[in-house]
Copies of this chain bind each other. A is one copy, B any other.
Amino acid sequence: MSAAHRSITLPSPLPLDGGGSLASVEIAYETYGELASDRANAILVCHALTGDQHLASAHPVTGKPGWWARMVGPGKPLDTDRFHVICANVIGSCMGSTGPASFGADGAPLAMRFPVITIRDMVRAHVALLDVLGIARLHAVVGGSMGGMQALSLAANWPARAARVLAIATTARHSAQNIAFHEVGRQAIMADPNWAGGDYYGGPAPDAGLAVARMAAHITYLSEDGLTDKFGRNLQDRDSKSFGFDADFQVESYLRHQGSGFTKRFDANSYLYITRAMDYFDLAEEHGGKLAEAFAGASARFCVVSFDSDWLYPTAESRHLVHALNAAGAPVSFVELSAPHGHDSFLLEAPALDRVVKGFLA
């Protein structure tokens, strides 16, 4: 559907959790639907690790539909006849908001001079955007995966800014296994000689390393059963094994395609910075070690959704979050949906999710 593509420069330097601040922060964002005169119908949708602001508009590089096009539009769960839907590219990313590929004051790309940021820093930038837009309180903040982390961070740190918080397929902290998989990806990128300490802009990019990182991560987004149903041990374009190292199996060919396709649309340094922000995410740690404390001042209604086949952020993580919300006295509904596709279920056809989202936002 038609989106308004916009970009602003934040009027003030953005303070960062790591210390210091980031000046002249650009935020690229899209909006769908009209903002009501009382500015009370805005919904902020937060995107995942490799997502972007192209929520329901074609991706400028791949030409593919927006990543949640099925969810946004007239009469859809994020109903653009009622709501003003905003989706902003997170800082650290590479689709128009300030990140490691942005230019510094010296005219050269920041690369690894870009500061290590946190999920809260990303949200601080979103809040600064809302300030510019004159939106004091969101009708809702919504996100899946890393988007859910942002929604929770907003609820915890800027509790007055959202009336509803919808956190899907997410967690209140990155586990050791989550960190481990991200570290594999970072090491794959940094092992690529083309990475060159991050200073590869203008030269060959570390595509081989980034592709390996994406392949490893992609496995974690899918369920074992989903992979078996989709590919099993089927061979790719052949009747028998080649006894070589070509992609004999469909699942190999699929993964290679996922890896190489990703390098066309994503910056390797952004992958380093955003995975780091996710690994640093621990909402309890930010609030004295008790997750319930994070939500002590919460004024929002919460809805937490997990998928039974998600082994990246399994239902146990959502349950942990819901316990803390209950302990904080926050109104929360929680549902584990049955879906075959693992973590990626929130991006795929899941009619049960549509009903939950529609009902919660109503």
Interface residues of A (CB under 8 A from B): 17-19, 112, 115-116, 173-177, 179-181, 183-184, 186-188, 190-193, 208-209, 211-212, 215-216, 219, 224, 227-228, 230-233, 241, 243-245, 247-249, 251-252, 255-256, 259, 272, 276, 279-280, 282, 285, 311
Contact = CB atoms under 8 A, between A and B. Distances in A.
Contact of A212 (B17, B188, B193, B280): B188
A228 B317 CA distance: 13
Contact of A176 (B18, B230, B285): B230
A24 to B, nearest CB: 21
Given A227-B180, A252-B179, A280 B241 contact: yes
Given A215-B183, A227-B175, A227-B177, A272 B245 contact: yes
A227 B175 CA distance: 9
A242 to B, nearest CB: 8
A20 to B, nearest CB: 10
Q: Count the copies.
A: 2
CB-based closest 9 A-B pairs: A18-B243, A191-B208, A176-B227, A116-B243, A176-B231, A176-B251, A177-B224, A183-B252, A184-B215
Contact of A219 (B180, B193, B243, B245): B180
Contacts of A18: 241, 243
A179 B243 contact: no
Query: What DSSP secondary structure best describes chain A's contact surface?
Result: helix
A188 B192 CA distance: 9
A184 B185 CA distance: 11
A190 B252 CA distance: 14
Contacts of A174: 233
Contact of A186 (B190, B245, B279): B245
Given A193-B193, A280-B241, A259 B187 contact: yes
A187 to B, nearest CB: 5
Contact of A179 (B116, B183, B191, B249): B249
Nearest to A189: B212
Contact of A251 (B179, B186, B208, B216): B179
A342 to B, nearest CB: 10
A257 to B, nearest CB: 12
Contacts of A272: 245
Contacts of A112: 245
Contact of A184 (B115, B187, B255, B311): B255
Contact of A243 (B115, B184, B228, B231): B115
Nearest to A20: B243
Contacts of A232: 176
A212 B209 CA distance: 10
Contacts of A208: 191
